[in-house]
Amino acid sequence: MLKYNIRFPIVVVVITVINILFLIKGVKSADYIVGDEEQWNSQANFGSWSQLYNFTVGDVLVFKYNKEQHNVYEVTQTTYQTCDASSSTGGVLAKYESGNDQIALTEAKKYWFICNVAGHCLGGMRFNIDVKDQEANTTSNSAPSTPPTFEEPTNSNSCIRLPAGFEIWHIGIYIVGLFGLIFT
């Protein structure tokens, strides 16, 4: 005969409630590979890519590229618009040249990024994003206000995107909770 243990269902309920709060609150930051599968290179459309996501404080941009061919500069709006990152403009805020740069978005503001290799910025290797506070982004977790101006890819290589704050291990917690409620 099975003993009835009251602690197990209580623990399961508490863990489930905590996970639901994380899911609703969206407190987890996300890492975004710039350009997704195409990564940071001169063939990608970064204007379209940057419109796909709602970036929040705490997110991380991951720039993956061949460091012999590209770099990443965080710049001012003027430098972004002119693609002139010479030292006389003073518009370079940070330089990244490792080939695998991780840039934390620490403030709610506009960010501008370019590749400073000759001709790359003017050729389209640049983008800007508007980073919001997490609270502002979780209250309206909808698509960006300006719809993207690009065509959907025709390939079938797609993935399921989980809501912010949701980890795959949460599913395991829910399953454990379900079994705990059923078998106790």
The 10s digit of each residue's pLDDT in 150-160 is 333 344 444 45
- Provide, rounded to the nearest whole percent, the portion of the chain with pLDDT above 70: 59
> Per-domain residue ranges for the chain?
29-137
Q: Which of 44, 93, 40 is nearest to 62 (CA)?
A: 40
The pair phi, psi for residue 90, each rounded to 5°, is: 65, 20
Confidence tier at 99 by pLDDT (50, 70, 90): very high
d(CA 110, CA 76): 9
pTM of the model: 0.61
pLDDT at 74 over 50: yes
Confidence tier at 171 by pLDDT (50, 70, 90): low
Average pLDDT over the chain, rounded to an integer: 77
Query: CATH 2.60.40.420: does it fit domain 29-137?
Result: yes
Confidence tier at 137 by pLDDT (50, 70, 90): low
SS3 178: helix
